[in-house]
Structure 1
């Protein structure tokens, strides 16, 4: 009796190749792991639709300019005068006290506190801007805003 190398050719093959099935399942798993956190939002929030909010300049508001020097040191200017962090805090506290007294004291009806408008150079490190915000809030200013320049042509695009 002679046997062939391939065996009996009349018997059907019962082995299943599961490699393609495993590959498809792994790809689907990765797709779901990436897509599910994007679809599910944990906290529903309504974001404002404001694209451009014009600034109203009042004489009692504080205008600060912040930039970094060539050596990397932070430079803060109160109007046109350069101040260090101690002078900034002292000026801010004095300005706020003066405005509150001018309006009739802390409990005066319709008390409107001044705002701080910061003009930050685009190349200024965050620590300079953040330190200025912290100092002004520490002095008691509740509203701190940024002055920006819209792109030419009046068209504002969202990122």
Structure 2
């Protein structure tokens, strides 16, 4: 054994840098959540569409989506509009393509007169193709009055 000073190892020093890995992981999870929920927020107009037999999606083409909620408020492309703005949007669509189809979605509780007003605005703007959007009819249980001829 030698006399003299003994070498001592120093204790590990604390890190002075921020560990970025957990921060990046949290941010990536948040981005994925926003990507998944963004399309769900786009269709936020709540409508109780009427049901009808023989409803099938039409051929994709140039169309403008018009919706009327239970309170009678009109939406074009998901945005609420008043009468003047509705007429302007419909005229703009007719100017771009005269064969544009108006896809009209009206709540089952909307008075018929309100639907006719929107149809009249479409005709006045020069749009004569109107498609009524409805939910498919649910199959009636066997033996019920709806399933008998």
CA contact (8 A) 1:68 1:128 kept: no
Q: Please, what TM-score do these two structures have when normalized by structure 2?
A: 0.54
Instruction: Report the alpha carbon displacement of residue 154 of structure 1 after superposing the two structures with TM.
Output: 8.7
- After TM superposition, what 4+ stretches of structure 1 lie above 6 angstroms from structure 2? 154-157
The whole-number CA distance in structure 1 between the counterparts of 2:140 and 2:103 is 21
Corresponding residue for residue 78 of structure 1: 76
Corresponding residue for residue 19 of structure 1: none
The whole-number CA distance in structure 1 between the counterparts of 2:95 and 2:127 is 11
Q: Within 5 A, what are the aligned runs for 1:26-65?
A: 52-65=54-67
CA contact (8 A) 2:68 2:105 kept: yes
Of 122, 125, 139, the residue aligned with 2:111 is 125
Instruction: Report the alpha carbon displacement of residue 99 of structure 1 after superposing the two structures with TM.
Output: 2.2
Q: Secondary structure at the match of 2:105?
A: strand
Cα RMSD for the two superposed structures: 2.7
The whole-number CA distance in structure 1 between the counterparts of 2:88 and 2:68 is 17
Q: Within 5 A, what are the aligned runs for 1:1-159?
A: 52-69=54-71, 74-99=72-97, 113-153=99-139
Instruction: Mark the structure with the bigger radius of gyration.
Output: 1
Give the length in aligned residue pairs.
93
The whole-number CA distance in structure 1 between the counterparts of 2:78 and 2:85 is 14
Q: Please, what TM-score do these two structures have when normalized by structure 1?
A: 0.51
Instruction: Report the alpha carbon displacement of residue 85 of structure 1 after superposing the two structures with TM.
Output: 1.0
User: Structure 2 stretches of 5 or more lacking a match?
Assistant: 1-52
